[in-house]
Amino acid sequence: MFLIILGLVALWFLFRWYRELARVPNIREKYVYITGCDSGFGKLLAKHLDKLGFRVIAACYTERGEEELKKVSSERLNTVHLDVVSTDSVNKATAFIKSLVGEKGLWAVVNNAGVSVPSGPCEWMTIEDYKSMLDVNLNGVIGVTLSVLPLIKKARGRVVNVASVFGRISAFGGPYCVSKFGVEAFNDSLRMNMAAFGVKVLCIEPGFFKTSVTDIHLLRSNLKNLWDKQPDDIKEQYGHDYPERANVTLEKNVVKWLDADLMKVVNCMEHAISAVHPRTRYSPGWDAKFVWLPLSYLPSWFSDKMLLKDLAKPKASIH
Ligand SMILES: NC(=O)c1ccc[n+]([C@@H]2O[C@H](COP(=O)([O-])OP(=O)(O)OC[C@H]3O[C@@H](n4cnc5c(N)ncnc54)[C@H](OP(=O)(O)O)[C@@H]3O)[C@@H](O)[C@H]2O)c1
């Protein structure tokens, strides 16, 4: 019986592997719009798709980002300035894309731009901290998507949303997990709404990868900035050595998981864009597959216990 089940599972994986090999035709005529191409996954994806022959429209936040990308790509690749927080900037980028793609429409948009700070205990934040991150990570995704959706429907194309495995489990405080849970919700409702139009909506949920958003210096200075703003009673409750203890756990919890192979994420993005049968969700990274996702399915009392075990504790709770 055990062998029969094992055989059936193996057969299922073989079938899925074979089914997922097929790629869409005419990639040289397909336009792909990617946000946040100055660095990290976005930049690597833009270069990768350009090499494969796609017509990449790489949106960069900075002029330097645009120049650097142009130097290393073919003349097929176009860059455009984009600040996902500004409606004016989003509309200008969309007008440029419209003029490029013409009647063919846009094959895919990859909502990749994002920020990771401020992050820390919820009570250390102001509502402005929440708003500023939600504006980039969530409203930015929604705004960009809505602005190009008519072009994507024309091509019966795809929307690829970069969420995070922290859109499946809230493992730390602050607006990041809130923003990524929001991206997951937007992704799922849009997927159902667009099914009738032949538009596929796919979600990427990476674990920890080594990019600017997980840079340990950024995370340390984020912690210091937030701590410096806290009133004395909060500092008393957490203990004056809290920043040092939190830095130790930061090293232990984040640095140990950081995966330097960004291609694991880029390959998932490419599959979502180019496979005839893409997956609804991709979770690149061993930590995503074997730690965070399984933890997200377990009862809250258990996952809370596991997560709290590794976090720095406020002095008030240390007995
Ligand atoms: N690295 C990870 O472990 C990890 C895990 C899960 C999910 N993610 C997600 O993956 C996505 C890409 O992040 P990454 O890891 O590749 O980090 P990254 O290198 O910092 O990429 C983020 C990009 O977004 C750009 N950006 C920031 N604010 C923007 C704005 N207002 N408008 C337009 N672009 C803006 C950044 O530009 P500048 O560089 O000029 O600031 C940068 O190019 C993010 O959505 C992130 O949340 C990352």
64 vs 316, higher pLDDT: 64
**Residues tagged active-site:** 176
pLDDT at 88 over 70: yes
**227 located within any domain:** no
**Rounded CA gap, 315 and 295, in Å?**
27
Q: What is the mean pLDDT of residues 159-179?
A: 98
When divided into structural domains, the chain yields a total of 1
Give yes or no for a contact between 300 and 307, defined as CB atoms under 8 angstroms apart.
Answer: no
What's the pLDDT at 270? 98
Classify residue 199: in a domain, yes or no: yes
Q: What is the pLDDT of residue 293?
A: 98
Kindly tell me the burial class for residue 142, based on how many C-beta atoms sit within 10 Å of its own C-beta (0-12, 13-18, 19 or more).
middle
* Residue 112 CA to ligand 1 centre (angstroms): 6
Percent of the chain with pLDDT over 70: 99
Q: Which numbered atom of ligand 1 lies nearest the CA of 210?
A: 1
Beta partners for residue 78, in sequence order: 57
The number of CA neighbours under 13 Å toward the Cβ of 51 is 9
Range of the domain at 203: 24-211+260-308
The tens digit of pLDDT for each residue in 200-212 reads: 999 999 999 999 9
**Strand pairing category for 78-81 and 108-111:** unpaired
Find the mean pLDDT for residues 85-107: 97
- Per-residue confidence (pLDDT) for residue 303, from 0 to 100: 97
Angle subtended at Cα 189 by Cα 93 and Cα 116, rounded to the nearest 5 degrees:
60
- Spatial distance between the Cα atoms of 186 and 23, rounded to a whole number of angstroms: 26
The answer to whether residue 189 sits within a structural domain is: yes
Task: Please report, for residues 25, 105, 152, 246, 267, the alpha-carbon distance to residue 70 in angstroms, rounded to integers and kept in the order given.
Answer: 26, 23, 25, 40, 22
58 lies in some domain: yes
Q: Compute the distance from residue 3 Cα to the ligand 1 centre, in Å.
A: 45
Confidence category of residue 319, pLDDT binned at 50, 70, 90: low
Which residues does residue 107 pair with via DSSP β-bridges, in sequence order? Answer: none
With respect to residue 34, please indicate whether it lies within any of the assigned structural domains.
Answer: yes
Whether the per-residue pLDDT at 256 is higher than 90: the answer is no
**pLDDT, tens digit (0-9, with 9 covering 90-100), for 53-67:** 999 999 999 999 999
CATH of the domain at 287: 3.40.50.720
Evaluate whether 201 touches 152 at the Cβ level (below 8 Å). no
Q: What pLDDT score was predicted for residue 186?
A: 98
Tens digit of each residue's pLDDT (9 = 90 or more) over 105-154: 999 999 999 999 999 999 999 999 999 999 999 999 999 999 999 999 99
According to the model, what pLDDT value does residue 238 have? 96
Domain presence at residue 224: no
- Mean per-residue pLDDT, 42-53: 98
Could you tell me if residue 131 is inside a domain? yes
* Structure tokens belonging to residue 266: 């880029």
Nearest residue by C-alpha to atom 46 in ligand 1: 114
Instruction: In whole angstroms, give the CA distance from residue 129 to residue 163.
Output: 19
Atom of ligand 1 nearest to the CA of 38: 43
Across the chain, mean pLDDT equals 96
User: Using a 6 Å CB cutoff, which residues line ligand 1?
Assistant: 35-36, 38-42, 61-62, 65, 82-85, 112-115, 136, 162, 164, 206, 208-209, 211-214
Q: pLDDT band at 318, cuts 50/70/90? A: low
Cα 113 to ligand 1 centroid, rounded to whole Å: 4
Residue 318 lies in a domain: no
